[in-house]
Amino acid sequence: MSNKLVLVLNCGSSSLKFAVINANNGDEIISGLAECFNLPDARMKWNISGKKDAAHLPPNSAHAEAISYIVEEIIKNEQGLAEQFVAVGHRVVHGGEKFTESVVITPDVCKSIKECASLAPLHNPAAIMGIKAARAAFPELPQVAVFDTAFHQTMPASAFLYALPYHLYKEKGIRRYGMHGTSHLFVSREAARLLDKPLAETNVITAHLGNGGSVCAVKNGKCVDTSMGMTPLAGLVMGTRCGDIDPSIIEHLVAREGYSPAGVMDILQKQSGLLGISGVSSDFRDIQSACEKGNEQAILARDIFCYRLAKYIAGYAVPLGRIDALVFTGGIGENSAMVRDKVLNLLSVFGYQVDSEKNETTILGKKGTITTENSPTAMVIPTNEEWVIAQDSASLVSA
Ligand code: AMP
């Protein structure tokens, strides 16, 4: 089978992650990160087949300069690589209700991505910049958009509607959309494979626990509920995001405590979560080592994190009825035996029993079951969003 290489771009507002992926088998040929856009020390680091390298970009570089560096200085130096490219695949955060699956990018698709920008004001404009720059660099290659929200578009109205006046949904699009869809899709498919069951008959709960975090109920292979909302702020306790709170807290802080609305949003998005409770860090590795030293605020942050997560998981028994597996993924889900152990113990009402040895050793990219033989199944599956983007891109362009 000939290689089908896809350049995968994930554009943030001030950074860009990139990878060259073989869509046939998920092999990562190049991966890298350009960061500090629009600042004097804009820079890039990358990895080609395990060999690391780094460079400064011209001061104040952004998406266009970064993509041109990737093409001219990295890809062109690898003989015969660019000739194997079949597409450029873009991660796009918000597809609103318009996009229920990945699409080949046309001028109309670009227009719709721009229209969804009010729902993701930092991310969607960055994706548009990435699309323009990639089109300039590879005018002959098809470009594909893969949406973080698309997998969640199968949610029923009972799960995606807020109990607000209905016209706010119909006229303004205020509803739950959910994020991390590409990751939930990948690990739910992988779980069905590991369970040796047809996807269309498999019910799983997937917990993507990274810097941001969300849980998803997947019934017969399709999303029926998820914890993030109209934006990524809702649901679980995250690195710096608060997750669910009483919305009246916002009014209270503004009207009675003298905070500005923007100041409150900054608190909810950047000063809350693990960082806000612990005062230690938003990074779970720091929380974990502070817990081991007996830091009480860190222990509290970890416990609130696990308790909220366990409550969400338990709640998803309602739409699923039968749970074939609970899946942990993302940096914390793939590596923190501590979190997995605590969460499964909080869920003992379902009969979960952790296999301590399997739990401790299933880290650093390993996958597998971490519960005992008599327990309902919980497993760890490393996510691979880039491979989904590469697969979708390659199959759309060959169709
Ligand atoms: P992600 O956004 O998926 O890259 O995940 C980032 C989060 O995973 C951060 O909170 C990291 O501290 C956490 N993480 C990464 N490696 C580990 C580890 N070995 N143990 C615990 N947490 C980890």
210 and 79 in a single domain? The answer is no
Which two tokens mark 221?
A: 């292979």
Q: Which of 147, 166, 186 is the last residue of a domain?
A: 147
pLDDT tens readout for residues 65-77 = 999 999 999 998 8
Looking from the CA of residue 288, the nearest atom of ligand 1 is 21
Residue 331 in domain: yes
pLDDT tens readout for residues 261-312 = 999 999 999 999 999 999 999 999 999 999 999 999 999 999 999 999 999 9
The pLDDT of residue 131: 96
Q: Identify the residue whose tokens are 């290689």.
A: 3
The pLDDT of residue 121: 83
241 and 381 in a single domain? The answer is yes
Residue 161 in domain: no
220 lines ligand 1 (CB under 6 A): no
Q: What is the mean pLDDT of the segment spanning 224-249? A: 97
Residues of the domain holding 342 = 197-385
133 and 263 in a single domain? The answer is no
Residue 233 in domain: yes
63 and 124 in a single domain? The answer is yes
The pLDDT of residue 310: 98
Q: What angle do CA 392, 398, 399 make, to 5 degrees?
A: 90
Question: Could you give the number of structural domains in the chain?
Answer: 2
The pLDDT of residue 50: 84
252 and 137 in a single domain? The answer is no
Q: Which of 132, 147, 162 is the last residue of a domain?
A: 147
pLDDT tens readout for residues 42-55 = 999 999 988 999 99
104 and 205 in a single domain? The answer is no
Report the separation in Å between the CA atom of 211 and the middle of ligand 1, taken as the mean of its atom positions. Answer: 7
204 and 136 in a single domain? The answer is no
Residue 39 in domain: yes
- 123 confidence band (pLDDT: 50, 70, 90): confident
Report the separation in Å between the CA atom of 133 and the middle of ligand 1, taken as the mean of its atom positions. Answer: 31
Residue 310 in domain: yes
- 98 confidence band (pLDDT: 50, 70, 90): very high
113 and 244 in a single domain? The answer is no
Residue 394 in domain: no
Percent of the chain past pLDDT 90, that is, above it, reads: 94
pLDDT tens readout for residues 103-114 = 999 999 999 999
The pLDDT of residue 122: 81
| CA-closest residue to ligand 1 atom 16 | 331
Q: Which of 84, 112, 147 is the last residue of a domain?
A: 147
The pLDDT of residue 1: 64
Q: Above 80 in pLDDT, residue 395?
A: yes
Distance CA 184, CA 317 (A): 17
Residue 208 in domain: yes
Of the residues 148, 335, 359, which should be mutated to test ligand 1's pocket, given the most ligand atoms within 8 Å of the CB? 335
82 and 217 in a single domain? The answer is no
Query: Considering the entire predicted model, what is its pTM?
Result: 0.96
Of the residues 211, 237, 292, 386, which should be mutated to test ligand 1's pocket, given the most ligand atoms within 8 Å of the CB? 211
Report the separation in Å between the CA atom of 145 and the middle of ligand 1, taken as the mean of its atom positions. Answer: 27
CATH number of the domain at 114, please: 3.30.420.40
Q: Which tops the pLDDT comparison, 217 or 121?
A: 217
Q: Show which residues are catalytic.
A: 148
The pLDDT of residue 119: 86
Residue 98 near residue 105 (C-beta atoms within 8 A): no
370 and 267 in a single domain? The answer is yes
64 and 210 in a single domain? The answer is no
237 and 305 in a single domain? The answer is yes
Q: Above 70 in pLDDT, residue 374?
A: yes
Q: What is the mean pLDDT of the segment spanning 18-37? A: 95
Residue 168 in domain: no
Compute the radius of gyration of the chain from its Cα atoms: 21
The pLDDT of residue 399: 80
Residues 6+ apart with CB under 8 A from 198: 192
